[in-house]
A and B are shown apart, each in its own frame.
Chain A
């Protein structure tokens, strides 16, 4: 029994069904394939899919409440912009941009890394950083499998320890090159690359689940060549060129014996026998018939979005809810986001043509990410990947005008005409380390359409992230200045208060974190719940911290490994080691 029909569910189900294990997936949404979102011309509708969030979670039925500190009153975010969970088969994995990193080799042992490099006092008391209890080396085969399944385009930077020219010199060692050649570089990427090289940095093409060519994966599933259409993130790819679960996994799974997916199935509760310490099944509402079902299961896997995984554990009373005042409990702990910032650059005589772009056409430098640089004399931990990321030139949102431009009138129009095709942003995608006061719990007042408490987010950018962002954004500015643009936008790091009205990224992490110690984690290093050995949780909710990369790569690797682990468990139940 798998809750959620997105990326993780598809990957782990691939492993399970290959080993003859029957799987039922419960998904609240419907199929995207065949819908208006998945064919031209209706796919190319920025208003419908991007502005009105046509492929996203419906906030009318379920949103999150928010406050910046536990001493404030929470309110429901009535229309969320900051992050956008998906809905439907494929989940957020159908509307992603396709940026598919492996994280730093040391990310799964981040606390150990910092302490061994800088001493025991390096991690502040209010930063509950912890190792994952697993290593990159254990996950590497699954990274490799994911990249082959999803046909990634990119340039290796580190093959088995040998640094490769043109790739990321900070990359974790990989067994071989990417399955496909990198995407075409954008004009913005060319400008960025020249500036970065002038500064002695090592720019490289970002890893992309946008197919640079025609591709056949190991399961016999095909991807077409990316059309650089600029309708990737927030959209469903009609050209079958984006690596997505609804393209590469679910159609294939449906041909396998023992696989079933039930759509319009809203999971309400995990049935838990506290005495036996077992999950006995789930309760779900059939959104078409209005019937509520109890579905017994031998094994339950939560593979929904970060927020849903955490909320279902809290609603079902499985595990102890985190209490920051008493410093007890684990469910909801280490909620993290991503610390983003950027600087706009304007070139009168360069044609950026932002509409010629794929979701993941980016040129990146990694020198200032995570612990890739010396933090000994710096007042913060973490860092950011920095890139010229032109992913689209969609006209409602994808325009930039110089600072001081008027807000309307003839001069406003002139600024649009002058700069739309001649500008881009250099972005910093920063880490977000856990803070004792950033967490998730159930809201005491507000409920969803089914009468269940909403998840409450208590989050703000804390001192560490603000200082990191300020420092990294200065590095962005140095690169921008080196480009010698005609105009440069303001240089400002990310500051609080966290703003639900502004899209930043959908990279929310934590809440059901993994670790070797049951006192500080929800699931084991094998993603097995400490309080129910037949209950597993997978997704970005298991990350104890967020890195300066998009989160998809490691969670895909974790999901594939979990499929093999659950197959082992089915054969021989017990604590997985």
Chain B
């Protein structure tokens, strides 16, 4: 029952977003550039510059390709989410202890950089681009999808190095958490557009007053899982 509803949702998304996704993959034009051209929101980035936006768009389209489960990362709003977070309090280091002296230490003591998350994210983008130009002759966003995917695997596993930044930390501590949040946070933050990821997994969202559901749907498919409600639906 739930699956039927979910599949209806998926079909609708593919109909809405199919064109941009197909074009970017099939033509082997840099995935992100193709998607950016088709996305009217791309010129509204608040933090990312044009090259940085191309990078993040390519990245979210690789990490979330258009397929039967969802539209492409850009079409799910993932790049917009990341941009908004970098431009907002999180990106500026709100709530983070920022006093010196700065020293390096064990990873379990947490990040020890005199950079805000926004600055670290951007410094990492520049460093990855430099490494891609050095090793592969083109910046990240201009690589073919399979090649760019391989670059991400190498970065995540610590095989791409930079003289000044830890790129594995950049990916693990900044990029990956932002990606996951972009997928699963409330759609009002710009990602998870139309609650596509909540539908994918069957999270029903709000209002979550489940005192009766708790008994009625214990051990059974939950009917509301196919049509999740977000904060915007109640505001």
List residues of A whose CB falls within 8 A of some B CB: 40-42, 44-47, 51-53, 58-60, 63, 66-68, 73, 75-80, 184-187, 190, 225-231, 239, 350-351, 353, 355-356, 393, 395-396, 399, 407-410, 412-414, 416-417, 420-421, 445-447, 497-501
Contact A416 B109, beta carbon cutoff 8 Å: no
Complex Cα gap A228–B201 (Å): 19
Q: Inside 8 A of A500's CB, which chain B residues have their CB?
A: 108-110
Q: How far is the CB of B100 from chain A (nearest CB, A)?
A: 9
Q: How far is the CB of B172 from chain A (nearest CB, A)?
A: 9
Contact A355 B203, beta carbon cutoff 8 Å: yes
Contact B109 A408, beta carbon cutoff 8 Å: no
Interface assignment of B214: CB less than 8 Å from any CB of chain A: yes
Q: How far is the CB of A504 from chain B (nearest CB, A)?
A: 12
Q: How far is the CB of B119 from chain A (nearest CB, A)?
A: 14
Complex Cα gap A535–B70 (Å): 61
Contact B62 A230, beta carbon cutoff 8 Å: no
Nearest to B204 among chain A residues (CB) is A355
Q: How far is the CB of B21 from chain A (nearest CB, A)?
A: 12
10 extra A-B contacts, CB within 8 A, seeds A59-B97, A395-B198, A413-B69: A60-B94, A67-B109, A75-B112, A79-B110, A395-B184, A395-B203, A413-B67, A416-B200, A421-B225, A501-B107
Q: Which of A44, A63, A184 contacts B214 (CB 8 A)?
A: A184
Q: Inside 8 A of A58's CB, which chain B residues have their CB?
A: 95
Contact B99 A447, beta carbon cutoff 8 Å: yes
Contact B218 A47, beta carbon cutoff 8 Å: no
Contact B103 A75, beta carbon cutoff 8 Å: yes
Q: Inside 8 A of B204's CB, which chain A residues have their CB?
A: 355
Complex Cα gap A498–B107 (Å): 10
A and B contact pairs by CB, cutoff 8 A, 23 listed = A40-B206, A42-B231, A51-B185, A58-B95, A59-B95, A60-B96, A73-B105, A76-B97, A77-B109, A77-B110, A79-B110, A227-B209, A228-B210, A229-B207, A231-B208, A355-B204, A355-B210, A395-B197, A399-B201, A408-B152, A410-B65, A417-B202, A500-B109
Contact A52 B90, beta carbon cutoff 8 Å: yes
Counting contact residues on chain B (CB < 8 A from A), the size range is 35 or more
Assuming the contacts A41-B231, A42-B231, asked whether A75 and B213 have C-beta atoms less than 8 A apart, the reply is no
Nearest to B98 among chain A residues (CB) is A60
Complex Cα gap A51–B176 (Å): 14
Complex Cα gap A52–B96 (Å): 10
Interface assignment of B149: CB less than 8 Å from any CB of chain A: yes
Complex Cα gap A413–B210 (Å): 27
Q: How far is the CB of A179 from chain B (nearest CB, A)?
A: 18
